[in-house]
Structure 1
């Protein structure tokens, strides 16, 4: 289940606040008061009283790429805009009266407007304006001192009003901030400050390094910002905080079309569409609301594309995967053509993209499509419909039940109710399975005990494999739509984005494929319309997982057998090699096809597996998840 690539962009600590005489919060303890007074003096004291904005120019290095950095901050409001451009792409982040916004390699802009994103944005803004030097809207809680490399650090937990708690590490020798640490979604962000220099009586850091780790301890991005010049001004210059206008200028509609229609299909739960890259193809891609434009290493080589940079991506699973970047001149879906897109290149394993004797999956498409088009998934007609936002007539409102979309990062989130408990769920067309339930939310809502009794099943994604527990949900309410039946898949707490403590879970194709689904990111709406033919997945399963390797393409190797499942009862074991399924040679069957044969079937469906050692195992599928 591909999920969105998660990385930290533009969190440079680049500014100080507008400071009257130091005002302490009533809740600030005596020890914190003394530390904060020393901190203020170390940064220049009263020199800050007449400054209304800070500008900086410098360089940013991230994912092996270095480019220009320009940041402006209004110290009165905390609003800011930070813009970066390297040899491959431009990106930007900002915070204004409309809220937090983000522009990444997709070129276009979307909001960060979930409750989680709003809290993090307040704290990011607080750090950017050195809010710890103006403490009237902040609660401070002294923490025990820490020692590292023979240095003592005074630690304060600071909570800006409405924001996320931040741990400040203050160097006891210099009384300046050494680092700040805070939680953001499933990540812990650490920002380190060094190379302090005098700028007109102010002490400012000229080196800022930001890193993040997942809840499993995996590194997720590392960037350095090197400041070359600061400017301290009475007010922020006009237009300095202007966000990009978001108009789509890189879409062409061929043959005078007002919309593009392209075939799509579900294969093992994966939603595939057919795309041409630089005139070559069409080739299959997974269309993933939780993803970005990604090419597999294998596809990039076949297309003759060179890549640059070296980064890291995390997603579902406890680990990570390396990334690089390449440029695609033309991406064509039906009559829609998008020009000059940046793609990630990632070393997905052979088992991810192989399709037996059919053309392999070339990669993933995600945010780049949904920011440019209103997108309709018509499962009845097996068609994808793209209506461009800024080319000709604007897309009309969708039909069916509207559901509001919010964003913490790139994946859309909706408010839904699972077994009577409300939470924010990702809507993930790249989730080829069931409704994921994140353990921290389940524990808070009193659902964990029941879900932990579910059947253990191996799964995974970008971050590697993990074991979930499956059980039947009693109810799932999405907007005014009641979804039944549905499976709940409880993930482990250290499974990266699929163990996100700030969200309830992730809704995938098990639910979405029951509707005609229309995504309209401009209106921040998803529309669910009942299908012409009622459809939902069956939940009988054989209880096995198997994948193909590039070295042995004529067989599928069993990696997991569910205890007490039909496969286990028939004698199948981990490491067994399947050479035929229901009499069809395994060489002609992809790992995705196998999922359809051994899952999503009706109770009692027959299954025959021929193994490499000559055994033929027969079984009947059954629902093994507890209700």
Structure 2
């Protein structure tokens, strides 16, 4: 289960960056950098989740040139492993053998298969239902006393509904992983219909050692046509049944196992794995057990799932504990932001009726988060388990949820808010938590560093507010990946996707080290960046982006940070080239409209007199 709780923000200290900048700028004089991502995009935006996607995706980068001994390297990034596939005929025959072993020919176009069982999700035993049709559509639900999560696909839109019933379209890697994993788990991937949408290749050599596959197993690489994410499916040669499935999901592995295949329907020879498990560094361990299988026949010739894309911002939840979001128009829309020495922007919410410490405004966090100490002081209920990833390179941390009574900031009030536990107070004094996705999802949010204000508006009323303020807005398409906003930008003239992370302090732009080459000169020491109050030391390089453009606003000589190799891809989407960080915020008033999947940048730079 792909929980959308990506945390925690990079805690780079702005003061430390200033300390090293003078020396870094002298190094930059030896040459300008040229990182870029070579992507051709479709020209139109139709509103479809798949309408804006790379047609050609080639990672080609020039290094930032930080010192005289570092050459600017350009080259094609090679695949992780080079494999020689089998011929087309053998590949097709083996796919057919798998389809026959699963009994896929016994299903009909107007049927819906329903699996019911038990699952261990977020460390909590849950009721589990998965239903799918022969057109590839599906709906999956986990439900327990604390949480309800849903995923679905109606043939056009891949979507998710969280514990609060908030509906999101799944995009980029997130949508591809959900679609591929469900199609493989249900067997749809080997049907004739699925071949219209998938590229499936049997691997003859190369991957066996990587995936620890013995000779009695076949390996298939499965991906959506013209898309990025690849699933590796390991099939038993004797039974022709899937045994394992593996994703390289952004920077983390995601592995599935299937066992104890049985025929559970008396009238047809279809096989199902009674037990399946998922092990992921982003969600931990999940276990599934099929208890009952039903086949529902629908009138007509095509499958119609009982639950399709909701088409609304929220859907009902029957649990009394589920988070509820309210907007009180009688309250002032704006609250003051504080600018911290660390480079973060913070607000002071009221939590469970009491004024809390500061919470960092962090679009890079896919939820609300709170310090354990503060949660215990407020008597919050802790439950479950969740795994958080960090863009700072510190990897994955195991943590839990806390359930509060209320969370209030300006006109926004959340009843029964869910927090993820973080220990951010070890890095920043007087900070009790993070304001992430939950603050932004149901509202239009204006963040104005220049005026030190955060404004929260009802989306239905925002168009009239724009007229009153006489804004000239140019809305940009916004992607959400792991509940974190992403936008199109240009780096040295090349169009890329960047994460917008208002919690990533200490830099203007940030690029992962494995997408930028040329920092391997052993004779030159990289500058040291100090992170947080305890002076956690990390190595990083600085480079100069000659020209940067976002939403039509152009900047010259923008400083980019490249963390050391321990950060790798920093938990980013494989479509993402880098991060738009807090030092760029001061140039804009940024307007977030999560529900409308759009974002606007109002330029606050002083106009040069003619």
1:196 to 224, 245, 261: 261
Instruction: Supply the distance in 2 between the matched residues of 1:40 and 1:233 (Cα, whole angstroms).
Output: 21
Shift of 1:261: 1.5
1:456 to 510, 520, 527: 527
Instruction: Supply the distance in 1 between the matched residues of 2:156 and 2:530 (Cα, whole angstroms).
Output: 39
2:348 to 274, 284, 293: 274
Structure-2 change in CA distance of 1:314 and 1:273 (3 Å): same
Matched, 1:511 2:591: no
2:243 to 167, 178, 194: 178
Q: Residue by residue, what CA displacement relative to the aligned partner does 1:370-390 show, whole Å, maximum 9, x if unpaired?
A: 111100112232111001336
Shift of 1:336: 2.6
What does residue 221 of structure 1 align with?
Answer: 284
Instruction: Supply the distance in 1 between the matched residues of 2:395 and 2:478 (Cα, whole angstroms).
Output: 28
Residues 314 and 497 of structure 1 are in contact (CA less than 8 Å); yes or no, is this contact kept in structure 2?
A: no
Instruction: Supply the distance in 2 between the matched residues of 1:430 and 1:388 (Cα, whole angstroms).
Output: 24
What does residue 20 of structure 1 align with?
Answer: none
Instruction: Supply the distance in 2 between the matched residues of 1:373 and 1:166 (Cα, whole angstroms).
Output: 36
Instruction: Supply the distance in 1 between the matched residues of 2:356 and 2:345 (Cα, whole angstroms).
Output: 15
Structure 2: gaps of 5 or more residues: 8-84, 317-323
Instruction: Supply the distance in 2 between the matched residues of 1:297 and 1:123 (Cα, whole angstroms).
Output: 36
Matched, 1:472 2:472: no
Matches within 5 A, 1:224-263: 224-235=287-298, 236=303, 238-243=305-310, 245-247=312-314, 250-254=324-328, 256-257=330-331, 260-263=333-336
Residues 514 and 531 of structure 1 are in contact (CA less than 8 Å); yes or no, is this contact kept in structure 2?
A: yes
Question: What is the CA RMSD across the aligned residues, in angstroms?
Answer: 3.4
Shift of 1:485: 4.5
Matches within 5 A, 1:484-563: 484-495=556-567, 498=570, 500=572, 501-531=574-604
Structure-2 change in CA distance of 1:61 and 1:526 (3 Å): same
Shift of 1:85: 1.9
1:205 to 273, 288, 296: 273
Residues 315 and 497 of structure 1 are in contact (CA less than 8 Å); yes or no, is this contact kept in structure 2?
A: no
Instruction: Supply the distance in 2 between the matched residues of 1:273 and 1:68 (Cα, whole angstroms).
Output: 38
Residues 264 and 382 of structure 1 are in contact (CA less than 8 Å); yes or no, is this contact kept in structure 2?
A: yes
Structure-2 change in CA distance of 1:492 and 1:32 (3 Å): farther
Residues 32 and 142 of structure 1 are in contact (CA less than 8 Å); yes or no, is this contact kept in structure 2?
A: no
What does residue 398 of structure 2 align with?
Answer: 322
Matches within 5 A, 1:39-58: 39-44=98-103, 46-48=105-107, 52-58=111-117
Q: Residue by residue, what CA displacement relative to the aligned partner does 1:119-138 show, whole Å, maximum 9, x if unpaired?
A: 44553453244244225434
Greater CA drift, 330-339 or 452-461: 452-461
Greater CA drift, 424-433 or 412-421: 412-421
What does residue 475 of structure 2 align with?
Answer: 402
Structure-2 change in CA distance of 1:399 and 1:265 (3 Å): farther
TM-score of the superposition, structure 2-length normalised? 0.73
Equivalenced residue count is 495
Greater CA drift, 78-87 or 425-434: 78-87
Residues 4 and 290 of structure 1 are in contact (CA less than 8 Å); yes or no, is this contact kept in structure 2?
A: no
What does residue 5 of structure 1 align with?
Answer: 5
What does residue 66 of structure 1 align with?
Answer: 125
SS at match of 2:505: coil
Structure-2 change in CA distance of 1:466 and 1:131 (3 Å): farther
Instruction: Supply the distance in 1 between the matched residues of 2:571 and 2:482 (Cα, whole angstroms).
Output: 15
Residues 441 and 502 of structure 1 are in contact (CA less than 8 Å); yes or no, is this contact kept in structure 2?
A: no
Structure 1: gaps of 5 or more residues: 8-25, 214-218, 355-359, 536-627
Instruction: Supply the distance in 2 between the matched residues of 1:378 and 1:120 (Cα, whole angstroms).
Output: 35
Q: Residue by residue, what CA displacement relative to the aligned partner does 1:396-448 show, whole Å, maximum 9, x if unpaired?
A: 586444322112321111111123332110001111121111234435xxx87
Shift of 1:449: 8.6
Whichever of the two has the greater Rg, that structure is 1
Residues 401 and 481 of structure 1 are in contact (CA less than 8 Å); yes or no, is this contact kept in structure 2?
A: no
Q: Residue by residue, what CA displacement relative to the aligned partner does 1:19-53 show, whole Å, maximum 9, x if unpaired?
A: xxxxxxx9854543453343233222632356632
Instruction: Supply the distance in 1 between the matched residues of 2:559 and 2:395 (Cα, whole angstroms).
Output: 25
Matched, 1:333 2:409: yes
